[in-house]
Each structure stands twice: as C-alpha cells, then as structure tokens.
C-alpha cells in the first residue's frame, strides 16, 4: 500500500553540525514532497517542499534533495541551532487530491 518510511527516528547533533533525515516512498506517481516541523504541543508547520520535476531545493540553512529513480528524498539542515530541535515529518502526495502520506517522524535534538 501507500507508504513513507523515515529514518532515523531520533537524531542528536552538536550545535553547528549538519543533520540529515531520509525518507523513501512507495508510489511512483507521487509528485510532491513537503517537510514539516512540529514543536512540542504545536501544529506541524511546512518548512520546505519539492516537486518531482526538481532534484534539489534550498532555503537558507535547509535543503531537500529528491531521487525519483530510487524513490527517496532527504532533508538537510546545516549549521544547526538549538531552536531547530523538534520533530520533523516528511510526506509524499498520493493520487489525485493532494492527499499526503506522512512518515513516522524524526526527533531532532540539537545540543548546545
């Protein structure tokens, strides 16, 4: 069935280091891949997204890469800061209607 796998489930990095979170998806028709950040007790917020006709997208310290052949995409955060600590979710669009299937999430801890 429709599935998005996300790794790792937890990630601890030192402030200033980079963090990478990886996701794989099962539906070859998926064409939209957003990433969400969710702080404790708050709503998920869109931080970056990529469409299937693009291989990489950057926005300041965050970037996303997409490999359609392998059906995986990754989030890269450089120069991490304590305020980057949160749960990060990847998602992939499924079918018509922009239904999103989410990964299980990655808890990122940035140690200062």
Partner 1 sequence: DTGVSQNPRHKITKRGQNVTFRCDPISEHNRLYWYRQTLGQGPEFLTYFQNEAQLEKSRLLSDRFSAERPKGSFSTLEIQRTEQGDSAMYLCASSRNYGSLNYGYTFGSGTRLTVV
Nearer to partner 1, 32 or 78 (CB): 32
Question: Is 71 within 8 Å of 24 (Cβ atoms)?
Answer: yes
Residue 38 corresponds to which tokens in the numbers above?
């969710």
CA distances (Å), origin 42, targets 37, 39, 71, 103: 9, 5, 30, 18
Q: Is 91 in the site for partner 1 (CB under 8 A)?
A: yes
Nearer to partner 1, 14 or 97 (CB): 97
- The number of residues that bind partner 1 (CB under 8 A) is 27
Nearer to partner 1, 31 or 65 (CB): 31
Q: Is 6 in the site for partner 1 (CB under 8 A)?
A: yes
């Amino acid at each position: 069935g429709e599935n998005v796998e996300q790794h790792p489930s937890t990630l601890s990095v030192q402030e200033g280091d980079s963090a990478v979170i990886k996701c794989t998806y099962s539906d070859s028709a998926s064409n939209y891949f957003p990433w969400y950040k969710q702080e404790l007790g708050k709503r998920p917020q869109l931080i970056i997204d990529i469409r299937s006709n693009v291989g990489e997208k950057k926005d300041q310290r965050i970037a996303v890469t997409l490999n359609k052949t392998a059906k995986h995409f990754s989030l890269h955060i450089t120069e991490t800061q304590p305020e980057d600590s949160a749960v990060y979710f990847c998602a992939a669009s499924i079918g018509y209607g922009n239904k999103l299937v989410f990964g299980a999430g990655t808890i990122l801890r940035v140690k200062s």
